[in-house]
Amino acid sequence: MSSLPAVVADLYRFVVGVDTHAATHSYAIVGAPNGTLSDQTTFPTTPAGLGAGAGIGDK
């Protein structure tokens, strides 16, 4: 059995990054095999903005 760590692209189709701040949150979805940016957006931390951000995985 190999002791080498797994590569993310071997385990997942996408990687999601989130950058949180007091007034806004930003996210990006990147294709794991080739690093292609699939989606990104910034939304406010208001209730309406957080509701919009909750649908990130629906695409």
Give tens-digit pLDDT for 1-58.
566 677 888 889 999 899 999 999 999 999 988 899 998 989 999 988 888 777 776 6
pTM score over 0.75: no
Residue 48 covered by a domain = yes
Q: Give the chain's domain count.
A: 1
Quick check: 43 and 50 in contact, CB under 8 A? yes
Specify the pLDDT at position 54.
75
Residue 32 covered by a domain = yes
Specify the pLDDT at position 31.
92
Residue 2 covered by a domain = no
The domain of 12 spans 8-58
The per-residue DSSP string of 18-50 comes to EEE-SSEEEEEEEETTT--EEEEEEEESSHHHH
Closest CA to 27 of 38, 41, 14: 41
